[in-house]
Amino acid sequence: VEDILTSFAERRGEAGIFLDYDGTLSDIVPRPDQARPAAGVAALLEQLAREFRFVSVVSGRATPELADWLGPKVDIWGVHGAQHSVGGRTEWSPSATPHLEKMTEVRDAARAALRSKGLPEDLVEDKDLVVALHYRAAADPDAAQTALEQIANDLAEEFGVVRADGRKVIELRPPVEMSKASVILDKARELDFRAVLFAGDDLVDLPAFDAVDELSRAGALGVKVAVDSPEAPKELIRRADLVVDGPRGLVELLSRLTAT
Ligand SMILES: [Mg+2]
């Protein structure tokens, strides 16, 4: 562990650090709008950004919310790379923009479908380009999961959108490339990293692990970190170079990368 961290830190001037948010920098909470960064995260990100070539938070969430919690200076890719925010400015990627209008129709249809099944509308999270259906906070999560899966499949067919599943959440996305992997690969091309680290906790983070592997094959030092929890997917743990215990474990690991 020390070896790989030392080698990574030695390349700080040419290293990129990419971090998922929920379950990685923040504990999973019953309601997604309650997620706040773990203790020390905001200060740590600022310090890492001063010392390393590039530091970014890459999340499925909308970026303005993350910017509120992490501070406007942090480089944030939201909505799986379709939205970017830094220095208080938020922009959509060009491939995302044409789908924004249709996704508001999907959101409205999702709310109506939940109402008709007697489920609370606030299980629907509106991320403009992505509609997320959450069942963690439902009175009966198992029953809600069954109902939301049916709703998601119906909407996917009706509107030609894509279903993607995460931890107690089903997302409906437009049929465009949206992934943490493309954020990492695009930045690596732009900045020519000699080392790259990604940390995540969920199945949606596996493409980011693939991206790190691709850069490793091209000669960079790749470090894949899995943030463990009782819900952690086995595949993620199996493929990780390092496994840490929850967001607190990640903060501890990242702190060891800093010079001071
Ligand atoms: Mg996560």
Q: Cα(89)–Cα(87) distance, rounded to whole angstroms? A: 6
Using CA atoms, how far residue 90 sits from 2, 46, 59, 71, 152, in Å, is 37, 19, 14, 13, 28
| Nearest Cα residue to 242 out of 212, 207, 214, 204 | 212
Q: How close is the Cα of 100 to the center of ligand 1, in Å?
A: 24
Contact 37, 70 (CB under 8 A): yes
Contact 8, 195 (CB under 8 A): yes
Rg of the chain (C-alpha set): 18
Tell me the pLDDT of the chain (260 aa) as tens digits. Answer: 779 999 999 999 999 999 999 999 999 888 888 899 999 999 999 999 999 999 999 999 989 999 999 988 899 999 999 999 988 889 998 888 999 999 999 999 999 999 999 999 999 999 899 999 999 989 999 999 999 999 999 999 999 999 999 889 999 999 988 889 999 999 999 999 999 999 999 988 999 999 999 999 999 999 999 999 998 999 999 999 999 999 999 999 999 999 75
- CB atoms within 5 A of ion ligand 1 belong to 20, 22-23, 201-202
Q: How close is the Cα of 255 to the center of ligand 1, in Å?
A: 20
Q: How close is the Cα of 163 to the center of ligand 1, in Å?
A: 17
